[in-house]
Amino acid sequence: MSSRCTPTADAPIPSRPDRHPTGHPSRRRPSATTRLPHSRIDGPPMARTYTLRDTGSSPRRTLDLEARLNPQQRQVVEAPGGPMLVIAGAGTGKTHTITWRVARLIEDGVAPERILLLTFTNRAAREMLGRVEDLLGVRARAVWGGTFHGIARRLLREHATSLGYPENFTILDSEDAASLMKACIHARTPRRSDLRFPRAELVLRLFSATINTGRPLGDLLLDQAPQFEPHLEDLETLHAEFTARKVELGMVDFDDLLLLWARLLDEHPELATRARQRFDHVLVDEYQDTNRLQAHIIDEMVRDHRNLAVVGDDAQSIYAFRGAEYTNILRFEERYPDATRYLLEINYRSSPEVLDLANRSIAHNARQFPKTLRSEQPHGPTPALVECTDEHQQSQFVAQRILELRDEDIPLERIAVLYRAHRHAMELQLELSRRNIPFIVRSGMRFFEQRHIKDVLAFLRWVENPRDELAFRRVATLAEGVGDRTAEKLFLFLSAFDDPAAALADPRVERIVPSRGRRPWRNLSAVLQHLATPLVRSQASAAIDHVRDAFYDAWARQAFDSSTNRITELQTLAAYAEQHGDVAEFLDNLSLAGVLTGEDATAGPRADEYVVLSSIHQAKGLEFNAVFVLWLAEDRFPSARALLNEDDLEEERRLFYVAVTRAQRDLYLTRPMIAWEREHGRVVLRPSPFLRELTREPSPPPWERWTLASD
């Protein structure tokens, strides 16, 4: 009898195991394929085969397009192959449409594993693929979905050696990249003129910009840091040294992931063909946010079949400062002359009054795809333009109105205050605190960037890649008496062995450590040796628990005043790790989580109500019942710099459009009339150009003017 569990179409449903009177299965019942002991009756031993059904062969589900999609969405979902440009206005069901497009492709016979869905956040990919799975069942799990960096990582793991990297290369996050850059700068021969050499963080930003935009380093230096232009030659040399050092250590940063993906497509014809032929359809979300390098990668990936669907909204292109190239979406039809354009204009988020303001404002942009959002929501209040004497009165109004909205049964967490720059909310934060109104600011240090989180992750990083010098230094210097120089000596000694983790047991290692640090080092070394065993590495959560229990919790109690909170967060980290299997997979996912725009992988529902304070850039993709937009005054919003360039002014208008379309029903635009400036004292502020241009139209302004009075 065969021992294989082969699913068969006519296999009988296995009978239910014998049960005790309590209802629990009998423990004396053998498991499938287990031989029963010889009975007292002569004859051959008994056995049975238990057949597992293929969960992927569940009954085919039929997609009800007419009931679940509006006519515009249905056109997109049912479109044939070939290049297609989907202009999806704010609140028009973009995610819903992409989800159904993927599901329809699978229903039409496209193998799920031959579909590539590129997004800008892991959360977006999980949401869309989860919805596809809800529609079609587990067969949708094979779709390749994720961020550009995540997909790059998956492809590069297969071809790393062909590109000069080990298969177990480490992905550097921003902090670790800065540490490595500092080391490279420090290693240069110091000269007196180097006293004003740019900081590592600025150097990394410049290098990233030149990679993602294709602009020469010299041009970027003149634009962003002209005072360092005399160092151009040194910076170009440093770039080469930094790149060589990463290769030597088996490391890549986020920019390398995209750059190596592009190199694979451009410089390795056989590998490029394999990569392109892996997929029959490519879909790209938020296409207006792609940079030059990402657009090139997309074009190369579809060069053979040209089944490309890009979805985005040119009116929400607001990330030029990150390297996003607005012309990617504007000129898509120039690169793909046979492309079909589709518009999604039916808005399910905002009231007609909010959309009237948004439509009329964005119409003043010259470079765009014309569209008019139409609301499916009932009528609501007219947006309010609130004229305030100064910033203090602006803050008083916002705080008081927030309390009134809460009394009208709008939860605080459904209220947002949006602004062009973080400094615009400083006075408001003070006012909210004075009135005991809880709030959060969508900025600051993220969960995985905190020191205690990075310390524990460094243990895992080093045992996974013993050539990761940054991780080793971080771990080693946790031992009292071990400084940077000792850590460097230890790393160099261990790196000479094929198995550095096993070499920790060599007695010569401890002699490198100063006498006062040998006992702490001995304890730390034992943790690393145990952590490096295959059994521990097979479960990331167990590895984290071991680091905590054997070393870090006790160390944290001595090192931090807030050790209780930090230890609790480490427990949260271990719980999160349970979702991600072994150490290698967990580290990859965490490294990639460092490019999400504000999302926190551990965030769950909060019991407390809080008002959301956010820059407009960080609020993109969110929606709220009530929205306040602050500082609609010239030189504040838009910024003074934007007034000098029409392209910049149009991007600022798109930013205003994004702010307005976050509101579902209640929208308040505040305009301080006087500001205090250190150089000029009290200054009278003109209204924002975005307000003035709407008052000059033949139609009445799309707001109700509010004036403030004191009791």
Question: For the chain, what percent of residues have pLDDT higher than 90?
Answer: 52
Q: How far is residue 8's CA from residue 54's CA, in Å, rounded to a whole number?
A: 9
User: How confident is the model over 417-463, as pLDDT tens digits?
Assistant: 999 987 788 778 878 888 888 888 875 445 666 789 899 999 999 99
Considering only residues 562 and 23, tell me which one the structure prediction assigns the higher pLDDT: 562
Q: How far is residue 387's CA from residue 631's CA, in Å, rounded to a whole number?
A: 10
Residue pair 690/656 in contact (Cβ under 8 Å)? The answer is yes
341 and 375 housed in the same domain? no
DSSP 8-state class, residue 538: T
Question: For the chain, what percent of residues have pLDDT higher than 70?
Answer: 85
Q: How far is residue 133's CA from residue 395's CA, in Å, rounded to a whole number?
A: 46
Considering only residues 26 and 613, tell me which one the structure prediction assigns the higher pLDDT: 613
**Residue entry with tokens 């670790």:** 176
User: How confident is the model over 150-188, as pLDDT tens digits?
Assistant: 999 999 999 999 998 988 899 988 888 989 998 898 887
Q: Both ends of the chain: CA-CA distance in Å?
A: 91
Give one word for 286, left, alpha or beta, with left for phi > 0 and alpha for psi -120 to 50: left
Residue 20 pLDDT? 40
Per the domain annotation, does 46 fall within a domain?
no
Q: What is the CATH number of the domain that holds 103?
A: 3.40.50.300
587 and 605 housed in the same domain? no
The tally of domains found in the chain comes to: 4
Q: How far is residue 123's CA from residue 218's CA, in Å, rounded to a whole number?
A: 36
- The answer to which of 220-234, 493-507, 637-651 has the lowest mean pLDDT is 220-234
Domain closes at, from 249, 264, 299: 249
**Residue entry with tokens 């963080």:** 201
285 and 342 housed in the same domain? yes
Residue pair 664/377 in contact (Cβ under 8 Å)? The answer is yes
Q: What is the mean pLDDT of the chain?
A: 84
Buried b vs exposed e over 508-534: b needs ≥16 C-beta within 10 Å? ebbebbeeebbebbeebbebbebbbee
328 and 184 housed in the same domain? no
485 and 563 housed in the same domain? yes
Residue pair 665/381 in contact (Cβ under 8 Å)? The answer is yes
Residue 290 pLDDT exceeds 80: yes
Residue 65 pLDDT? 75
Structure tokens at 44: 């051959």
562 and 500 housed in the same domain? yes
**Mean pLDDT, residues 575-589 taken together:** 82
149 and 274 housed in the same domain? yes
Residue pair 202/281 in contact (Cβ under 8 Å)? The answer is no
129 and 186 housed in the same domain? no
- Per DSSP, what are the bridge partners of residue 629? 418, 669
426 and 526 housed in the same domain? no
Number of C-beta neighbours around residue 421 at 10 A: 14
Q: Which of helix, strand or coil describes residue 341?
A: strand
User: How confident is the model over 108-160, as pLDDT tens digits?
Assistant: 999 999 999 999 888 888 888 888 888 887 677 889 999 999 999 999 999 99
**Mean pLDDT, residues 341-353 taken together:** 96
305 and 409 housed in the same domain? no
Give the residue numbers spanning the domain of 224: 170-249
Number of C-beta neighbours around residue 150 at 10 A: 23
Q: Of 119, 261, 279, 173, nearest to 589 (Cα)? A: 173
Q: Which of helix, strand or coil describes residue 481?
A: coil
Buried b vs exposed e over 210-239: b needs ≥16 C-beta within 10 Å? bbbbeeebeebbeeebeebeebeebbeebb
